[in-house]
Amino acid sequence: MITINLKDFYYWYTQDEFIEVSDEVAAEMFKGKRTEKTHTQRMRRNKSFYSLDANDGIEASAIMHYNDSPERIFGKIKQHCDLCCALSSLPEIQGRRIEAYYIQGISQKRIAKAEGVCISSVNESIMRGLQAMKIFLENFENSPNFCPQSEGGI
């Protein structure tokens, strides 16, 4: 049996209160105390100590990064939708190759190897697809903007 002070384990004890507990109970209580201390130290160590009063530029750069106006956000969404529509208007092979090359970042050599064709045909297909997308987008700007991917269009 071990004598422990409850004041050391429970914050609501304001005066010393000694009790005897078994060895197993005491071991678990000390283990819990160590775990709590470790957690507190880890929280203190990993806490960010940045202040909005610091004027070191951290906050300003973070705010400027996410400080897009609603008009800019809408413009980005519209541009994304227009590009999706233009990409969808292409034949399947051209669309797949442009998506793999520009969006997924796969090299033309890997695309050609995966499809079992030569690199020049992949390159030519991508160039023709980009030209077709350019023409589509020029005509798309003059027509009412409706995006089939979004509900009800934009």
| Average pLDDT value for residue range 129-151 | 73
Burial (CB count within 10 angstroms: exposed 0-12, middle 13-18, buried 19+), residue 62: exposed
Residues 135 and 79 in one domain: yes
The tokens of 140 are what? 């798309």
When pLDDT is cut at 50, 70 and 90, the band that residue 74 belongs to is: confident
Q: Is 150 within a domain?
A: no
CA distance 21 to 60: 56
Q: How many alpha carbons lie under 13 Å from residue 49 in its C-beta half-sphere?
A: 4
Residues 78 and 131 in one domain: yes
Q: Is 63 within a domain?
A: no
CA distance 101 to 122: 10
CATH number for position 80: 1.10.10.10
Total domain count for the chain?
2
Residues 120 and 86 in one domain: yes
CA distance 32 to 120: 67
Cβ proximity of 31 and 4 under 8 Å: no
Question: How confident is the model at residue 113, as a pLDDT?
Answer: 93
Question: How confident is the model at residue 92, as a pLDDT?
Answer: 92
Q: Which pTM does this prediction carry?
A: 0.50
The interaxial angle of helices 70-89 and 119-142, nearest 10 deg, is 130
Burial (CB count within 10 angstroms: exposed 0-12, middle 13-18, buried 19+), residue 35: exposed
**Residue range(s) defining the domain that contains residue 37:** 2-46
pLDDT of 29-40, one tens digit each?
999 999 999 998
Length, in residues, of the chain: 154
